[in-house]
Amino acid sequence: MGKFRIAWLPGDGIGGEVLQAARIVLDSVGLDAEYLPGDIGWNFWCSEGDAFPQRTIDLLKATDAAMFGAITSKPARAAEAELAPELRGQGLVYRSPIVRMRQLFDLYICLRPCKAYPGNALNYREGIDLVVFRENTEDLYCGVEFTPVPSELAALLARISGPFGAFQQLPGDQYAVSCKINTRKGSERITRRAFEFAHRFGRKKVTIVHKANVVRATDGLFLEVAKEVGEEFPEIPFDEANVDALVMWLLRNPFNYDVLLAPNLYGDIISDLCAQMVGGLGFSCSGNIGEQLGVFEPAHGSAPKYAGQFKVNPIATILAAKMMLDWLGESEKAVKVESAVAHVIQEGRVKTYDMGGNHKTLEMAEAIARAISG
Ligand code: NAI
Ligand code: MG
């Protein structure tokens, strides 16, 4: 038995290919771990009506961390149509397993480091080094949604909300409601983690991202709480920005920013922008982190058009494995992996298609593994 138990969740499309690549690197760095494969993704939705079966939930309860590839998600109607015939018409509803996992295991931090490794021709600018702390369980992703809108809800809103008057006459099937719910607790804990991170790694400032001038209740709460917590860290300066202005300024001068703290939806969006500034989806990794469990994944999806071709870039997933090593306390190994990735990028001899080369997924992993072994 290894020192760590790691759930291994390839999922769909290219998920298995990039995880295979990550495993080559984890083995070369000598992580003492037992890898436990788990079922997740579209096939399990189609065949058993559940993309995140209970046995996988149980597996995650008994592991230290997980590596997750990617899953395919489709809109409700398309999902229903692909169910095995005997499962149709039972009212089964597809929900993204990764969103469920975040809620079930309270993985409230989505950590997305976006670093431009020197010499990557895809860098928007050399020297970019941003870290996004995205709240991961609340906000518009809380799952409280109505379509069609039930008449009880419409009646209540008509009674208590003035602005709802504009929608009051609509039949329930002519509009939809998604609730944005943000809590004091949720806003506080993500902020605290962001400032602790800034403190620990000597980052120069934290920027609170919001749209509190318009979305007054929820973003107002987030901003208020984040500022309160920020005051507890006098050594870390912080500022705030409206999300729309921020994306513009971020592109204009990424060096004005360092740690970006945001509620769920804005965090999702700005982290994709940040990813593109450091080479795109092939380079962007993500950690979903709670008090008990960390689930590490590339930020990209299942890229169905490349599935089976072993040509996508595994660096995002290898950097996710690096984050996992950090989280497990294996910092020396994490540094080795990151240095090897940086070395291979800088050297520029092995490049996947997105980098303008034609090396395969596993060739990239092997080059990184060689750089680790010296
Ligand atoms: P995607 O991220 O899977 O791929 C979009 C495009 O980005 C690809 O066609 C490819 O050109 C490029 N790309 C992605 N990963 C790459 C890599 N490692 N190396 C080089 N190029 C790469 O996004 P798409 O096509 O919008 O979604 C496909 C499926 O994945 C959908 O079902 C979507 O719901 C799902 N998805 C799942 C996510 C997850 O599992 N966390 C995240 C995003 C999307
Ligand atoms: Mg996203």
Instruction: Give tens-digit pLDDT for 266-287.
Output: 999 999 999 999 999 999 999 9
Residue 374 has pLDDT above 90, yes or no: no
pLDDT band at residue 76 under the 50/70/90 scheme = confident
Q: Which residue lies with its CA nearest to atom 16 of ligand 1?
A: 282
Q: How far is Cα of residue 225 from the mean position of the Cα atoms in its chain?
A: 23
Q: Indicate the SS3 state at residue 50.
A: coil
Give the number of the atom of ligand 1 that is nearest the alpha carbon of residue 69. Answer: 40
**Average pLDDT score over residue span 258-269:** 97
C-beta 159 within 6 A of ligand 1: no
Residue 101 has pLDDT above 90, yes or no: yes
Q: Indicate the SS3 state at residue 240.
A: strand
C-beta 313 within 6 A of ligand 1: yes
pLDDT band at residue 126 under the 50/70/90 scheme = very high
CA atoms within 13 A on the CB side of 155: 3
**Average pLDDT score over residue span 12-21:** 98
Which pLDDT value is given to residue 293?
A: 96
Residue 74 has pLDDT above 80, yes or no: yes
Span from the CA of 240 to the centroid of ligand 1 (angstroms): 31
Which pLDDT value is given to residue 90?
A: 87
Residue 357 has pLDDT above 80, yes or no: yes
Average pLDDT in the chain: 96
Span from the CA of 218 to the centroid of ligand 2 (angstroms): 21
Span from the CA of 212 to the centroid of ligand 2 (angstroms): 22
Phi, psi of 352 (to 5 degrees): -80, 175
Alpha-carbon distance of 183 to 120, in angstroms, equals 40
Residue with the two structure tokens 């050399």: 126
Alpha-carbon distance of 357 to 29, in angstroms, equals 26
Cite the beta strand spans of 152-249 per DSSP E. 177-178, 206-210, 238-242
Query: Which residues, in sequence order, are bridge partners of residue 65?
Result: 6, 294
Cα 35–103–144 angle (5° rounding)?
A: 150
C-beta 305 within 6 A of ligand 1: yes
Which pLDDT value is given to residue 93?
A: 87
Which pLDDT value is given to residue 49?
A: 94
Which of 99, 122, 302, 341 gets mutated to test ligand 1 (max ligand atoms within 8 A of its CB)?
302
C-beta 300 within 6 A of ligand 1: yes
Of 60-74, 89-103, 248-262, 323-337, which gets the smallest average pLDDT?
89-103
Which of 281, 300, 352 gets mutated to test ligand 1 (max ligand atoms within 8 A of its CB)?
300
Q: Which residue lies with its CA nearest to atom 5 of ligand 1?
A: 303
The closest ligand to the CA of 301 turns out to be 1
Q: Which residue lies with its CA nearest to atom 42 of ligand 1?
A: 301
**Average pLDDT score over residue span 207-215:** 97
- Contact partners, residue 131, CB within 8 Å, separation at least 6: 111, 112, 113, 114, 197, 203, 258, 259, 260
Q: H helices within 29-113, ranges in order?
A: 42-48, 54-61, 76-81, 97-104
Q: Indicate the SS3 state at residue 307.
A: coil
Beta strands at 206-210 and 259-262: parallel, antiparallel or unpaired:
parallel
**Average pLDDT score over residue span 132-146:** 94
pLDDT band at residue 247 under the 50/70/90 scheme = very high
Span from the CA of 154 to the centroid of ligand 1 (angstroms): 37
Which pLDDT value is given to residue 251?
A: 95
pTM of the model: 0.93
**Average pLDDT score over residue span 14-20:** 98
C-beta 252 within 6 A of ligand 1: no
Q: Which residue lies with its CA nearest to atom 26 of ligand 1?
A: 301
C-beta 288 within 6 A of ligand 1: no
Which pLDDT value is given to residue 1?
A: 67
Give the percent of the chain with pLDDT over 70.
100
Encoded tokens for 107: 């993985």
Give the number of the atom of ligand 1 that is nearest the alpha carbon of residue 98. Answer: 41
